[in-house]
Structure 1
Amino acid sequence: MSKKMHGMVVAIDGPSGAGKSTVSRLLAKRLGYLQIDTGAMYRATALLMSREGIDFEDLKSVKNFCEHIDIKLDSVDGSQHVLANGHDVTEQIRSSEMSLLTSRISALKPVREALMRAQREMGKNGGVVLEGRDIGTVVFPDAELKFFLSASPEERGRRRFAELVVKGEKVTLENTINDVIQRDEQDIKRDLAPLRQAEDAIVIDSSALAIDEVLDLMEKYVKQKTEEN
């Protein structure tokens, strides 16, 4: 692997349920890169704030709280685990309730500033794959390669529904699709760093694509970019 390829920053943005976490994890593995799951970092922060009863409207309290949290991403037996203040919260942060709560706290300036600093520090040396909603537009606007991964709300709802059923949550497909649509509206309409596609992003609609097909396509673009450099 060339030095340039090793040092590349790959940004994957897109709406909730598009498969960003899975794709970024597997793409990073293929490339020998570090995966930075920014969505998991926001979810972990939302979980901590919820447990501590932090008032989301009190931005001073939110800022003070964010200055004392410690979110780490660790690899255990090839699987990424999320540690929040020293505790493994990998499973707890994936509930449907936490999805909606995450959208609320991710619109708070103190939260975004704290986590953006952490993400930039993690990715400053390159060789990383980051996924989120504003990686290519705000966190790493100069990323060498940007993807915007999407799928129809119905398809994303079906995927999310299947995940929740496996976890034993009592949900309906209709409500899950509605939650996805609601999350989209919150992410697109928020004032601070809304979900949007970077002008230079490569758009991939995964509605009718298998994960391996998405990965093959992304890997092809990474190799092309490496050859250009």
Structure 2
Amino acid sequence: MEPIQIAIDGPASAGKSTIAKILATDLNFVYVDTGAMYRSVTLAALKQGVNPAAEADVIALLPHLEISFAPGNPVQKVFLNGEEVTDDIRSNAVTGNVSAVASYGAVRTAMVAQQRQIAAQGGVVMDGRDIGTTVLPDAEVKVFLIASVKERALRRFKENQAKGMTETLAEIEAAVEKRDYLDSHREISPLKKAADAVELDTTGLSIDGVVDAVKQIIAEKVGK
């Protein structure tokens, strides 16, 4: 199909990354994992003993960070300064601090610049918290995925179990609720549905069901 820009936004664990990856593969588009970029910055801070709440110290790390992606099976690989951090950036420690890091203007400016450069060529599926409102305001298709806190926490719990992580369901649910609040209340690019985005509740839907629903939205927006 025509190389359009597809923006998928929504709260933590609403299924954005999973759906975006499948869509990118099916449409032969490029998948840009924006959340992984902010998580990588957060991980870098934690690994270097920098307090994620210390904005100036986090910003000072930016010139020394190189974030890249590579195809992987079953998931796309994420690299931080040449080291694979695909699983590390999904830890509870990173999850609990990434909202603060992502709220810093200099961090967002640096990441958004990279994201827009990739998207400029078209044919991209990008997911995050502010793609339709800030990063790609002119995207041809915008989808805002939502799901209940309980279901989103359960999804993350199952993912973590498969990776051998030990966080409890209650801990993850609390982290998800905290993340929702922080993402929605930050001053810079808060989590917000774009006026022209289509909201899709994924609670109770299978992955295939969500993918089919998003493809229908794409067809209605730009034609088959």
With the length of structure 1 as denominator, give the TM-score of the two structures: 0.92
TM-aligned CA deviation for residue 63 of structure 1: 2.9
User: Distance in 1 between the 2:122 and 2:167 partners?
Assistant: 40
Alignment partner of 1:105 is 2:101: yes
Identity %: 39
Query: Segments of 4+ in structure 1 off by > 6 A?
Result: none
TM-aligned CA deviation for residue 77 of structure 1: 4.6
Give ranges in structure 2 of 5+ residues lacking alignment: none
Give ranges in structure 1 of 5+ residues lacking alignment: none
Question: Superposition RMSD on alpha carbons, in Å?
Answer: 1.6
Identify the match of residue 138 of structure 2 among 134, 142, 147.
142
TM-aligned CA deviation for residue 188 of structure 1: 0.7
C-alpha change, 1:49 and 1:151, in structure 2 (3 Å) is: same
User: SS of 2:213's equivalent?
Assistant: helix
User: Distance in 1 between the 2:86 and 2:36 partners?
Assistant: 8
User: SS of 1:209's equivalent?
Assistant: coil
Asked whether the equivalents of residues 62 and 110 of structure 1 are also in contact (C-alpha less than 8 Å), the reply is no
Matched residue, 2:213: 217
Alignment partner of 1:175 is 2:142: no
Alignment partner of 1:155 is 2:151: yes
User: SS of 2:8's equivalent?
Assistant: strand
After superposition, give the CA deviation of every residue in 1:79-110 in whole Å (9 maximum; x if it has no partner). Answer: 41101111111011111111111111001111
Q: What amino acid is the match of 2:41?
A: T
User: Distance in 1 between the 2:50 and 2:178 partners?
Assistant: 23
- The count of corresponding residues between Structure 1 and Structure 2 is 224
After superposition, give the CA deviation of every residue in 1:17-73 in whole Å (9 maximum; x if it has no partner). Answer: 101111100011111101001001111111112112234455444333212311111
Q: For 1:119-130, what aligned pairs fall within 5 Å after superposition? A: 119-130=115-126
C-alpha change, 1:58 and 1:104, in structure 2 (3 Å) is: closer
Matched residue, 2:87: 91
